[in-house]
Structure 1
Amino acid sequence: MPYLLKSEPDKYSFDDLLRDGETVWDGIKNPQALITLRNMKRGEDCIIYHSNVGKAAVGTAKVVSVTTDPDNPKIPIVRLKAGKRLKREKPLAEIRDASVFHGSIMFRQFRLSVVPLSDEQFDWLVHG
């Protein structure tokens, strides 16, 4: 299952991920988002979405590993590997208008920083 991961680009941008190559996706506190992170599996695809500034899907990443914090087993540690920049960023307004996103949890619970996507949604973001 692919996922959309929201990041504030002034704190950690897709360019930062490209520079670093890999990163641990942390700082998530919302219980529903933590459950989603725990359910991630090695090799799954992700879309990196810049929130607050830019508000657009900007690139891809892949889940390298999912473990738990030894000090707090409820907290997942998700390691991501940088993918590629999207050929064309997909702004929020365009995503919202796309029929493939009608009824998406992304717009029903817009504060979630981790959102599961359908394969069709992922393909639209990458190729649409």
Structure 2
Amino acid sequence: MHYLLKSEPDKYSYDDLLRDGETVWDGIKNNQALITLRNMKKGEMAIIYHSNVGKAAVGTAKVVSVKLAEDGKTPIVTLKAGKRLKREKTLAEIREAGVFQGSIMFRQFRLSVVPLTEEQYDWLVS
């Protein structure tokens, strides 16, 4: 499984992840997004998408670990920086791509964690 993780670049950008090397992906409150985070597995890949500013897929990250916080519900997902995309894919391009037709990304736009199909992931990194 692959994922698209939305980040506000003025709060934490892909450049910040590259600088840090690893980070805990937190601050998620939406129940559906939390369920998706809980289901992540070590080794799975994600696309980091800059929301609000830039509105583009910018780079990759790898899931290093998924643990539950002391409350037993909140996932603690650690990501390792991958590579910057050869070319950023803008929201307009993603919306136009046939591979995203019917995607939850456009049905529930406010979700900050979105599962991706293999085809969607491949299109974003191509």
TM-score normalised by length of structure 1:
0.98
Give the gaps of 5 or more residues in structure 2. Answer: none
Q: Which residue of 2 aligns with 1:42?
A: 42
Q: Distance in 2 between matches of 1:39 and 1:118?
A: 15
Q: Share of identical aligned residues, percent? A: 83
Deviation per residue, 1:3-44 (Å, 9 max, x gap):
000000000000000000000000000000000000000000
Q: Which residue of 2 aligns with 1:112?
A: 111
Q: Distance in 1 between matches of 2:38 and 2:90?
A: 28
Q: State the secondary structure of the residue aligned to 1:73.
A: coil
Q: Does 1:93 align with 2:92?
A: yes
Q: CA RMSD in A?
A: 0.3
Q: Distance in 2 between matches of 1:100 and 1:121?
A: 6
Q: Distance in 2 between matches of 1:112 and 1:66?
A: 19
Deviation per residue, 1:30-85 (Å, 9 max, x gap):
00000000000000000000000000000000000000111x11100000000000
Q: Distance in 1 between matches of 2:72 and 2:27?
A: 15
Task: Give the total of aligned pairs.
Answer: 126
Q: Which residue of 2 aligns with 1:16?
A: 16
Q: Distance in 2 between matches of 1:20 and 1:64?
A: 14
4+ aligned runs moved over 2 Å, structure 1: none
Amino acid of the structure 1 residue aligned with 2:33: A
TM-score normalised by length of structure 2:
1.00
Structure 2 counterparts to residues 53-64 of structure 1, below 5 A? 53-64=53-64
Q: Which residue of 1 aligns with 2:124?
A: 125
Q: Which residue of 1 aligns with 2:27?
A: 27
